[in-house]
Structure 1
Amino acid sequence: MANYFQLFQRGFKNRYLRKIYIPENKLDCIINHPGGCGGVTLSKHINQFQYTNYHIEKEYGYQKAIAHLIKPPSVFYKKKIKVIILKRDLNEIYNSLKKRGFLRNSLVWYGDLLPFRFFNNDEKKLKKKFTGYLEKFYENWEKYPDSLKIVINYPNIFQSIDDQNSLKSFLNIKDQKFIENFPKFDPYAYEKNFIDPSS
């Protein structure tokens, strides 16, 4: 279990010192979301047809993972990286991450310097702080060029053939198996011994 200083260090690094590793010729698109949006399931599926950030993490390790980017990095503009933004109701994101015990870890990814604050004494303030980051996340990504991004709602992407075809077109994927084998919407069953499938 990380102590408060280690959590501060991680948040500081993600806010100010985070380096984005883009392997040459081995990245076609990035699936980006603040968490709680089915991103791992989608990444695994797309990675069967194109290189995604899921490939980077598996090939080069967790330290080079590109995940939960709260704003577009400058290298994305330079290299014209295609980005899939997954969108979901903010309260649903908060509740999903809370049930799985991911709130503090998510704050670290967002670059929060005090990710441990309010956890033990004031959930109202914690939720306000957390949803503030979620709002900032989507506001920041609105500035990324429309030609390089597609915004898709969760869970629609796992239910709507139209959304799946829009994504297929955006990624220039020709293989019809992309649609035929698209994963179905399968919400997590939060039971006593629940194991998060995204871990």
Structure 2
Amino acid sequence: MKKMRCISTFVLLLIMPPFVAGANEIPPERLFKMAKEEQAAFLETLQTLVNIDSGTGNEDGLSKVENILVQRLTELGANVELKPAQPGVGNIVLGHLQGAGDTKFLLMIHYDTVFANGEARRRPFRSEHGRIYGPGVADAKGSLALILHALKMLNTLDYNDFGAITVTSHYPLAAAARMTSDNGGIPSNFSKRLFK
């Protein structure tokens, strides 16, 4: 477990520097301490996500993960939009955080898995010999949990020296990236804002 916690701390620290680069008032030791303190919550989020069956096309499971994502992003102060993930089921979740700086970030992740319904019950989240197991733990619910907890750390720091951070989440990523309107595949105004 100690090795796993060190790895999760390291990964949280990896995702933070692009946001806080140039922020001399935040010492690296403080970020490391915060990441260590965030480990238990990160693992709890990961366990919750992994133990939900959310295979591609599993509307019930995708809805459960979507609700968690919307709640967490809203709690972090994001403006959250839902766009239908047509021709699939569920929604593309778009969370937009406005900062006071210039640099814009786009974080893209999917939350469906390749596993059949019942897989989360058959082999739920577990930790063994410093490793984490369960359906979607690496692809990509671990990354989803990292995004949520990195943003939580920024929120705790009251750090807003970025132009905007947009989180887009669902499957397929190509659909989320296009965010096309119904009029002949012309990109929507939202996607134009995303990719400026």
**Alignment TM-score > 0.5, same fold:** no
TM-score range, shorter chain: under 0.3
Structure (1 or 2) with the greater strand fraction: 2
Q: TM-score, with normalisation over the residues of structure 1?
A: 0.27
Q: TM-score, with normalisation over the residues of structure 2?
A: 0.27
